Amino acid sequence: MSECKDVTIIGGGSAGLYAAFYSGMRDLSTRVIEFKPKLGGKIHVYPEKMIWDVGGVTPITGAQLMMQMEEQARTFDPEIILNEKVEKLEKNKEGLFVMTTNTGNEYISRTVILTTGGGIVEPIKLDLEGADRFEGSNLHYTLQSLDEFKGKKIVVSGGGDTAFDWANELEPIAKEVSLIYRGDEFKAMEVQIANLEASSAEVYKNTKIEKLIADEDGHRIKEILTRNQETGEEIRFEVDDLIINHGFDRELRFIKESPLQVGLERDFFVKGTAKAETNIAGLYAAGDILAFDGKVGLIAGAFTDAANAVNQAKLCVQPDAFASGRVSSHNAKFDAKNRELLSHLYTKN
């Protein structure tokens, strides 16, 4: 059995990382449990994308933002658990939250903050027998670096914002870009569609991948066989790389099946308040997982949710505490850190 923490944060994305920082700022013992082997959440899907809507740090790449958020989250040395998936959430006889993970470990906490985004998000894999053998070579579900696609023939399969976004990013640097979509109406924003259609990229609707043809060694895809779903016409694409964005699977089983009966909205979100409260005392939510009237769907909104969740957790643990934390510019917790930073600054000058 683990040490009981004041706050356990389930999920290590934007909301979870800021909650970890703010929780330490409010003198709460803190734990973060993240299913993935590294922190950062779904920003890992677009590490090279430029992010413009985080106050005061524009523009910044997803990778840089992840690095800075993690560094900030570690300011007060929270316990960070990686590679463990919470599978059960309940309360014990003492009223403490108990989280059991896929490893069999149990973690105890006075309060819990859910920051799982849309749940544990995994890309939907290409539904073709044998496709998985190309995942280590030239079949991709995320883009880690645009440079690796320079001068190559690329096919992007998908019809949503992410697929069009990737195709638009790759079009100036790839030799050829083709986007194929099995449906008859794209789901991306109009400006994304218009930009791609106005470029040199080829765009195909009603077109479904039927077969991946390997090279002589059998390690890489050299050709893609597709078929138009309306006409039956067969279209072949020679490729250097195939990029798939068919959406993401969301897994919220530990919340849906919890004996606590957490209130949900549309199956993918926790129904809460602008103060990040749920229908369960001591259980809070922040970021994409939280739904309430007036929700701000930005990373900046996730930070606000996280701060509200921590403030509510603080009041739950210590009812006579202040309703919110003192701002960092006037917070004694930062005095020693500020002196150290300023001493380095003056030494350099």
Domain range annotation of the chain: 5-121+249-343, 125-246
CATH architecture of 125-246: 3-Layer(bba) Sandwich (3.50)
Lowest mean pLDDT among 97-106, 181-190, 201-210, 261-270: 261-270
pLDDT 10s digits, 157-185:
999 998 999 999 999 999 999 999 999 99
Task: Answer for the pair 17, 70: CB distance below 8 angstroms, yes or no.
Answer: yes
Listed residue (133, 109, 113, 297) closest to 215, CA to CA: 133
Reported confidence tier of residue 120, pLDDT bands at 50, 70, 90: low
pLDDT over 90 (residue 218): no
Residue 349 has a pLDDT of 55
On the question of a common fold for 5-121+249-343 and 125-246, the answer reads yes
CA distances from 291 to 115, 120, 233, 304 (A): 12, 17, 44, 13
pLDDT over 90 (residue 50): no
Task: Answer for the pair 289, 115: CB distance below 8 angstroms, yes or no.
Answer: yes
Residue 336 has a pLDDT of 79
> Under 8 Å CB-to-CB from 260, ≥6 apart: which residues?
89, 90, 91, 280, 283
Which two tokens mark 179? 């986007």
Fold of 5-121+249-343: FAD/NAD(P)-binding domain (3.50.50)
Task: Answer for the pair 108, 60: CB distance below 8 angstroms, yes or no.
Answer: no
Reported confidence tier of residue 322, pLDDT bands at 50, 70, 90: very high
Cis peptide before 37 (omega within 30 of 0): no
Residue type, 8: T
Instruction: List for the chain the helix, strand, coil content (%; round to 5).
Output: 30, 30, 45
CA distances from 239 to 152, 178, 244, 248 (A): 8, 10, 13, 24
Report, as an integer, the average pLDDT of 146-161.
94
